[in-house]
Chains A and B, each alone.
Chain A
């Protein structure tokens, strides 16, 4: 039975890590909705002609995209990734006015995904 001890220890470490990941993921979700509010403000600034808001928006979208993927929130990650790509294109081509409807639509998708995840976590 002694041969099993290392596997058992590894299993417990893995279970502990997964448990803590769930807790960190829940805290991450708590912060996503306020982040989205900040993104809405940045989007309004972009719409008002402040081109530098695009880089700040892209940074927030990038954070949500990357972090949510690590926690396994794939729909949220994909929605945020789509906005990140749009904003990268806006900065490359300078077509923020034309992209505004698509960005706003993307923001709605991110909010819906975050709210769905928040609800599912609260229900546990």
Chain B
């Protein structure tokens, strides 16, 4: 399958400094269009109009956390097909299995290397295309 190149990402994290780092990392290194927001609730609202190629979700957030946000997306036919990647400090094997079972396509452990994040995201995207 030839999937088009990765162009846009929505990053969801309640920590504003980390949102800034991710935006910088992905725009500087990969020239992606990056939107971000601080909660799962905001993400669901933004996704209705943004329709990014991929969503990067923090796991532990107040209110609608990462897994609950993913569940909302999967229940909405308009959003169900958008690949979701979790960024989490809770990257124990059992947790990773749980996140993948929920429908995440990949897990990026925190702390991530800001200089390598774009490459990691691109690799995940390319893997999706290969798995087609």
Contacts and interface: CB of A to CB of B under 8 A. Distances in A.
Interface in B12-32: 14-15, 17-18, 20-21, 24-25, 28-29
Interface residues of A, number: 22
B17 A28 contact: yes
A25 B114 CA distance: 12
B115 interface: yes
Given A20-B24, A63-B15, A70 B62 contact: no
Contacts of B17: 24-25, 27-28, 31, 67, 71
Given A59-B60, A59-B62, A62-B89, A17 B25 contact: yes
A66 interface: yes
Interface residues of B, number: 18
A16 interface: yes
B115 A17 contact: yes
Interface string B76-101: 00000000000001000000000000
B89 A21 contact: no
